[in-house]
């Protein structure tokens, strides 16, 4: 069994790398950011404010999030594309600062990892969700490089977005994610730091797969 934890700020390329590593090793990939996005999306839809109150508790109790064949299901419905907009990025960041939200999602994530091999990416995988993971990485890149990667990704999907807006939102989310009171984004002491500003995705994937193969 091998559990690979990949953490880092938005747009560092975590999901591209994590997905490819999982595919090469033939193990499951769990995108925990997509889970915060799905919840942020549902809160927006139901007009539930990102504050700890009864409406939030009720929403958490009546929410199911699952992955199957590369799709994310929110209450049984596929929401892959609906959760990938700048608006939902901000909603996810806001809801991820709430203790009750993190408690609920961490429980689901630990249940999903169970006792099997997985690659999981997020912000607190090496520190909270899978503190005993066999391999831990903290992947980062400059804010400008991360914003331009996100910009190219959204433009390729046909979304009408501006680079400047994405850069300022990247910086705002970095600030929110690393200064929130509950589990702020930080590198686990035993995580390998990979600055990917001048690395291709392929180089990062090869590095992790090489490390993993030494352990299998």
Positions touching ligand DC (CB under 6 A) are 10, 32-34, 36-37, 92-93, 96, 122-124, 173, 177
**Are 59 and 46 a contacting pair, CB within 8 Å?**
yes
> Closest separation between CB of residue 214 and ligand DC, Å?
26
Q: Which is nearer to ligand DC, 5 or 205 (CB)?
A: 5
> Closest separation between CB of residue 213 and ligand DC, Å?
26
Listing DSSP states for 67-130 in one string gives: EETTEEEETTEE-TTTT-SHHHHHHHHHHTT-HHHHHHHHHHHHHHHTTS-EEEEESSIIIII-
Q: Which is nearer to ligand DC, 146 or 212 (CB)?
A: 146
> Closest separation between CB of residue 177 and ligand DC, Å?
5
Q: Which is nearer to ligand DC, 16 or 117 (CB)?
A: 16
Residue 76, sorted as left (phi over 0), alpha (psi -120 to 50) or beta, turns out to be left
> Closest separation between CB of residue 36 and ligand DC, Å?
3
Return d(Cα 34, Cα 109) in angstroms, integer: 12
> Closest separation between CB of residue 181 and ligand DC, Å?
12
Return the axis-axis angle of helices 163-179 and 143-156, rounded to nearest 10°.
Answer: 120
- How far is CA 62 from each of CA 33, 43, 66, 143, 159, rounded to the nearest angstrom? 20, 12, 13, 36, 31
Q: Which is nearer to ligand DC, 177 or 205 (CB)?
A: 177
Q: Which is nearer to ligand DC, 166 or 213 (CB)?
A: 166
How many whole angstroms from its chain centre is CA 85?
14
């Amino acid at each position: 069994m091998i559990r690979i934890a990949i953490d880092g700020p938005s747009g560092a390329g975590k999901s591209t790398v994590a997905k490819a590593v999982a595919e090469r090793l033939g193990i499951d990939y769990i995108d925990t950011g997509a889970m915060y996005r799905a919840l942020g999306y549902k809160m927006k839809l139901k007009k539930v404010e990102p504050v700890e109150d009864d409406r939030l508790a009720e929403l958490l109790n009546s929410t199911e999030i699952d992955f199957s064949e590369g799709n994310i299901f929110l209450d049984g419905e596929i929401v892959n594309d609906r959760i990938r907009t700048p608006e939902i990025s901000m909603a996810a960041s806001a809801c991820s600062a709430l203790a009750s939200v993190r408690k609920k999602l961490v429980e689901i994530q630990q249940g999903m990892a169970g006792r099997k091999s997985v690659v999981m990416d997020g912000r607190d995988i090496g520190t909270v969700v899978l503190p005993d993971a066999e391999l831990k990485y903290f992947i980062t890149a400059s804010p400008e490089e991360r914003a331009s990667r996100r910009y190219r990704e959204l433009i390729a999907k046909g979304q009408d977005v501006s680079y400047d807006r994405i850069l300022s939102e990247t910086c705002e989310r970095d600030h929110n994610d690393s200064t929130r009171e509950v589990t702020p984004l930080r590198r686990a002491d035993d995580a390998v730091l990979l600055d990917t500003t001048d690395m291709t995705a392929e180089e990062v994937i090869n590095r992790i797969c090489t490390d993993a193969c030494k352990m299998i």
